[in-house]
């Protein structure tokens, strides 16, 4: 006869395995049970799963109070026995959660076997008493899970009609559990969550599973599961109320909310609100809360609850490079200068600038350090978001610097004013005015310049995380004309474009393919008239790893002089080995060219390498080792790079 057992409820299944803690104890790092005494009954615990899979033992360890409390000795024999008896139903439930519905569990306490449905408390307590003060009580959990049952039928019914949903209403791919899969309770719980998420994404904010009926058929070693689902009404977004953060102008906050009342409801839309509002630096937390019922217009009111960050921040960092020497950086920022989320940031740095272009630190002359040997930068940036409550932001910046790199030296001062219009959370267009005056020196000679331009930049970013993207696309394209009629000493137009894309190959984003390409071109002006710091260079940690910074460009002798065009790119496979450790094989390629467009018939330099990632809550810490594949004379065989965040 087919026995159909109806299970009252299914839990979420076993949690993280306790085996790691056993391993620590075996190595002597974990806590051990106390020694026997006249007032306590410590015990030694062993678990025998009769050769069952590791998941069965892990479930027992997670469910067992004997396992969890083994370093605490009960004060009386009957306390220890009751602790063991309380484990029996919990262990059986844990094995049922994995689909082992014929599981048999016995707990042997001091030689007395305890089983469900039997009362041997007094006999076991007497056996425990014999160990008082002389030895730990031996306890052995013996579990025979038996065969693992599988799903036979999974029914998902509309609670309103009692009929199955149509494929248009609920595609089969949503319910990931399917006939023949192990009948684990975690699979049922996951299916319920996926069904609710699906209906919520289709605009049903109150979707819920109203009942769950799993039925086990022992002769067939199978389970049928019936889920009744109430989708609830379809709703649009209602009024969006902003509260909290009283020192931040809420009109500015609303300018970062792109969803509007009347838009279709979905969790994706609410997450978009949270993500976009979180871009305001003055805010430390953004919580999105839904109303518990629809309003009189059949819409769902939304509440945006804010908390503020500390207004001021100050930081100092020190760097050292075997090529460029020491550098010290400092910054100060105010994240809410006038109460409208304005950000003012002051930055300064000083570093060893050296005396000879292109020479590494160890061959520079050893004269006494002079003031002229020091380089530095000082500047500020100011952001006023949400001008007059609109989606327009004001950006103002200025910088003065004296720098000397591998390719050139420059002294400059300049300022820029821009207006940025945010079309959405993913795209914006920026236009402004930029003026700069300076002097550069390189192997081509010295250029004293004045540039006044009109920078125009389009940005698109649909990635999910700024420092460690797993999905989406990034694109930045800019063009800046510097016409002579505005006062520029060299008439030219600088165009740049950078694009990257990211593909997660699995649901948990443990395997990611990432690709990047960069292009640049300068139209107008002769190479020797263009300031060195505006020419294009490739090579280094942000470009082609394995080659020295700025070294991949046209050269005079051994000195790079920069080019009028650029192409470079990278391909990476980002593989998570554990939750915190990852490896990244990569290939980079690139070159700058003297002509205004890349000459692809000329050699392009290629490098390959392997990276190590340590993932933190802030972002991955990056270590990359790269080697040139077609090196030139003088290129080093290996280069090492360390940083925070992915390389692109």
Q: What is the pLDDT of residues 472-486, one digit of tens each?
A: 999 999 999 999 999
Confidence of residue 373 (pLDDT cuts 50, 70, 90): low
* 124-147 confidence digits (pLDDT tens): 999 999 999 899 999 999 999 999
Residue 16 lies in a domain: no
Does the pLDDT at position 16 exceed 90? Answer: no
* Domain end position, chosen among 291, 308, 325: 308
pLDDT at 9: 44
Check whether residue 469 and residue 524 sit in a common domain: yes
Check whether residue 576 and residue 459 sit in a common domain: yes
Average pLDDT across the chain, whole number: 89
Confidence of residue 32 (pLDDT cuts 50, 70, 90): confident
Q: 3-state DSSP helix/strand/coil percent for the chain, to nearest 5?
A: 15, 45, 40
Share of the chain above pLDDT 70, in %: 91
Share of the chain above pLDDT 90, in %: 77
* 80-128 confidence digits (pLDDT tens): 999 999 999 999 999 999 999 999 999 999 999 999 988 899 999 999 9
CB-based contacts of 588, cutoff 8 Å, min separation 6: 543, 544, 545, 546, 568, 569, 570, 606, 607, 608, 609, 626
pLDDT mean over 400-427:
92
Residue 155 lies in a domain: no
Confidence of residue 317 (pLDDT cuts 50, 70, 90): confident
Interatomic CA distance for residues 44 and 138, integer angstroms: 5
Residue 354 lies in a domain: yes
Check whether residue 393 and residue 425 sit in a common domain: no
Check whether residue 469 and residue 383 sit in a common domain: no
Phi, psi of 424 (to 5 degrees): -160, -175
Check whether residue 331 and residue 445 sit in a common domain: no
The total of other beta-carbon atoms located within 10 Å of residue 375's CB is: 22
Task: State the DSSP code for 104.
Answer: E
* Domain end position, chosen among 112, 144, 176: 144
Confidence of residue 36 (pLDDT cuts 50, 70, 90): confident
pLDDT at 356: 43
pLDDT at 368: 56
Check whether residue 533 and residue 461 sit in a common domain: yes
Check whether residue 320 and residue 461 sit in a common domain: no
Residue 474 lies in a domain: yes
Check whether residue 108 and residue 134 sit in a common domain: yes
Token pair listed for 574: 């980002």
Residue 524 lies in a domain: yes
Work out how many domains the chain is built from and give that number: 4
Residue 511 lies in a domain: yes
Give the CATH number, domain containing residue 568: 2.40.160.50
Interatomic CA distance for residues 345 and 382, integer angstroms: 7
**C-beta of residue 38 within 8 angstroms of C-beta of residue 133:** yes
Check whether residue 390 and residue 502 sit in a common domain: no
Residue 377 lies in a domain: yes
Interatomic CA distance for residues 507 and 293, integer angstroms: 33
Check whether residue 537 and residue 571 sit in a common domain: yes
Does the pLDDT at position 3 exceed 80? Answer: no
* Domain end position, chosen among 120, 144, 168: 144
Phi, psi of 539 (to 5 degrees): 105, 140
Least confident of 103-112, 149-158, 540-549: 540-549
Token pair listed for 128: 């425990």
Does the pLDDT at position 274 exceed 90? Answer: yes
Phi, psi of 556 (to 5 degrees): -115, 110
DSSP assignment of 256-296 equals T----TTSBP-HHHHHHHHHHHTTSTTEEEEEEEE-SS--T
Check whether residue 273 and residue 130 sit in a common domain: no
Q: In terms of residue numbers, what domain contains 69?
A: 31-144
Contacts for 40-43: CB closer than 8 Å, 24+ residues apart: 40/73, 40/74, 40/75, 41/73, 41/74, 41/75, 41/76, 41/77, 41/79, 41/80, 41/128, 41/131, 41/132, 41/137, 42/73, 42/136, 42/137, 43/70, 43/73, 43/80, 43/136, 43/137, 43/138, 43/139
Residue 12 lies in a domain: no
Check whether residue 430 and residue 513 sit in a common domain: yes
pLDDT mean over 355-364:
42
Give the CATH number, domain containing residue 241: 3.10.20.310
pLDDT at 319: 66
**β partners of residue 416:** 397, 434
The total of other beta-carbon atoms located within 10 Å of residue 640's CB is: 12
């Amino acid at each position: 006869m087919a026995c159909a057992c109806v299970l009252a409820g299914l839990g979420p299944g076993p949690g993280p395995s306790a085996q790691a803690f056993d391993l620590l104890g075996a190595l002597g790092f974990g806590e051990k049970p106390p020694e026997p005494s006249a007032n306590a009954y410590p015990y030694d615990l062993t678990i025998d799963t009769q050769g069952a899979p590791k998941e069965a033992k892990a479930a027992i360890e997670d469910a067992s109070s004997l396992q969890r409390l083994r370093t605490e000795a009960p004060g009386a024999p009957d306390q220890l026995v009751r602790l063991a008896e309380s484990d029996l139903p919990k262990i059986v439930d844990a094995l049922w959660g994995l689909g082992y519905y014929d599981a048999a569990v016995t707990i042997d306490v001091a030689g007395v076997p305890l089983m469900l449905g039997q009362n041997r408390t007094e006999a076991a307590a007497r056996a425990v008493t014999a160990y008082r003060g002389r030895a730990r009580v031996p306890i052995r959990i013996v579990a025979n899970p038996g065969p693992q049952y599988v799903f036979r039928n999974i029914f998902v019914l509309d609670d309103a009609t009692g009929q199955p949903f149509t494929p248009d209403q609920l595609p089969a791919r949503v319910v990931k559990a399917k006939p023949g899969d192990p009948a684990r309770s975690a699979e049922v719980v996951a299916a319920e969550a996926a069904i609710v998420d699906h209906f919520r994404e289709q605009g049903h904010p109150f979707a819920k599973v109203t009942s769950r009926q799993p039925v086990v058929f022992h002769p067939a070693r199978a389970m049928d599961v019936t889920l009744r689902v109430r989708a609830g009404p379809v709703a649009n977004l209602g009024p969006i109320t902003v509260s909290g953060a009283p020192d931040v102008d809420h009109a500015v906050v609303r300018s970062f909310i792109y969803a509007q009342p009347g838009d279709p409801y979905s969790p994706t839309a609410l997450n978009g609100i949270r993500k976009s509002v979180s871009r305001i630096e003055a805010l430390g937390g953004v919580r999105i809360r839904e109303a518990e019922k629809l309003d009189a217009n059949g819409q769902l009111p939304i509440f945006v609850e804010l908390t503020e960050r500390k207004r001021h921040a100050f930081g100092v960092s020190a760097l050292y490079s075997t090529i460029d020497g020491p550098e010290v950086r400092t910054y100060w920022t105010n994240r809410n200068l006038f109460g409208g989320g304005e950000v003012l940031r002051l930055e300064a740095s000083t570093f060893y600038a050296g005396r000879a272009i292109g020479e590494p630190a160890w061959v520079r002359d050893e004269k006494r350090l002079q003031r002229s040997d020091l380089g530095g930068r000082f500047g500020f940036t100011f952001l006023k978001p949400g001008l007059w409550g609109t989606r327009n932001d004001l950006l103002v910046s200025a910088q003065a610097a004296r720098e000397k790199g591998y390719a050139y030296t420059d002294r400059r001062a300049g300022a820029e004013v821009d207006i940025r219009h945010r079309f959405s959370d993913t795209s914006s267009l920026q236009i402004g005015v930029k003026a700069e005056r300076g002097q550069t020196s390189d192997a081509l000679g010295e250029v004293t310049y004045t540039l006044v331009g009109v920078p125009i930049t389009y940005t698109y970013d649909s990635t999910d995380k700024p420092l460690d993207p797993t999905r989406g696309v990034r694109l930045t394209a800019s063009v800046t004309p510097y016409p002579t009629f505005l006062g520029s000493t060299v008439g030219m137009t600088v165009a740049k474009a950078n694009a990257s894309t990211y593909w997660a190959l699995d649901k948990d984003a443990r395997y990611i393919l990432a690709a990047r390409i960069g292009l640049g071109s300068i139209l107008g002006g002769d190479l020797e008239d263009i300031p060195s710091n505006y020419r294009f260079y490739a090579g280094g940690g942000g470009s082609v790893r394995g080659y020295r910074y700025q070294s991949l460009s046209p050269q005079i002798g051994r000195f790079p002089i920069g080019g009028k065009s650029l192409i470079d790119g990278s391909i990476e496979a980002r593989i998570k080995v554990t939750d915190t450790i990852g490896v990244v094989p990569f290939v980079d390629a690139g070159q700058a060219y003297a002509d205004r467009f890349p000459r692809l018939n000329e050699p392009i330099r290629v490098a390959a390498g392997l990276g190590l990632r340590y993932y933190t809550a802030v972002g991955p810490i990056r270590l990359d080792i790269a080697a040139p594949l077609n090196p030139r004379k003088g290129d080093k065989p290996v280069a090492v790079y360390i940083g925070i965040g992915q390389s692109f």
